[in-house]
């Protein structure tokens, strides 16, 4: 993993954007797993190539499959609300992608084989963007980087030692928070707000 990240050298935003477009073109033709048979399109990313934060979700849903962009449905709208309330600008600060680039049938959890098939694109995105912070949004994203027996409830809101030069935190997926309406202390939405406030504070120290 770290060897792959060290192979890509992009000096500025234009070079990063060009490299991402090339990777996206390859991804759009991918036939590495059976999800290519049922997708409307691959859902590669949204956001600036030089964004300091990379948010990695699980898999595209129906709205994303139709639009070709991640986090555009109800969960994406809720994510935008949390980001804005924490002082994080989605358009300026965040590059968003998913663990896998194709919608799964009935929105089921991606298999390990499907995650492995998409790994070259995901780690290629990390290598090109070189974010200062990675947010692993939900269990599928988390378990793409840690052991499958580690639960998001055990580590969310904590800084994880995954990369030498990138701060990594797991956060709840907004699709889960759509079912959790309370914002009282120690509820999932309250924790999400506190986690993103912590991310914003760390971001401020890294970009100054």
Residue pLDDT, tens place only, 110-134: 999 999 999 999 999 999 999 999 9
How many structural domains comprise the chain?
1
Q: Long-range contacts of range 200-205, CB-CB < 8 Å, 24 or more positions apart?
A: 200/86, 200/87, 200/88, 202/133, 202/159, 202/167, 203/52, 203/53, 203/88, 203/93, 203/132, 203/133
The pLDDT value given to residue 11: 73
Model confidence pLDDT, tens digit, residues 135-166? 999 999 999 999 888 989 999 999 999 999 99
Give which of 53, 137, 140 is closest to 95, Cα–Cα: 53
Is 3's pLDDT higher than 60? no
The pLDDT value given to residue 148: 84
CATH value at residue 48:
3.40.470.10
Cα separation, 17 vs 128, in Å, equals 8
Q: What's phi and psi for 54, nearest 5 deg?
A: -110, 125
Q: What percentage of the chain reaches a pLDDT higher than 90?
A: 89
Structure tokens that stand for 25 in this block: 């073109």
User: Residue 129 is part of which domain span?
Assistant: 2-206
Instruction: Tell me the sheet residues that pair with 139.
Output: none
């Amino acid at each position: 993993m770290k060897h792959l990240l060290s192979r890509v050298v992009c000096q500025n935003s234009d070079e990063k954007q060009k490299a991402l477009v090339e990777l996206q073109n390859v991804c759009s033709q991918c036939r590495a797993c059976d999800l290519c048979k049922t997708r409307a399109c691959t859902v590669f990313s949204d956001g600036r190539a030089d964004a300091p934060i990379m948010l990695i979700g699980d898999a595209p849903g129906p709205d994303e499959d139709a639009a070709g962009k991640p986090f555009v449905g109800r969960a994406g709208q809720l994510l935008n609300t949390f980001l804005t309330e924490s002082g994080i600008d989605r358009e300026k600060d965040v590059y968003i992608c998913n663990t896998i680039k194709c919608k799964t049938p009935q929105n089921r959890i991606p298999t390990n084989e499907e995650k492995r098939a998409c790994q070259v694109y995901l780690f290629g995105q990390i290598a090109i963007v070189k974010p200062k912070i990675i947010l692993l949004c939900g269990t599928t994203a988390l378990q793409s980087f840690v052991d499958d027996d580690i639960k998001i409830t055990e580590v969310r809101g904590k800084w994880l030692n995954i990369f030498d030069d990138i701060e990594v935190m797991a956060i709840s997926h907004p699709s889960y928070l759509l079912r959790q309406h309370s914002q009282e202390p120690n509820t999932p939405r309250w924790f999400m707000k506190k986690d993103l406030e912590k991310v914003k504070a760390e971001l401020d120290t890294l970009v100054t």
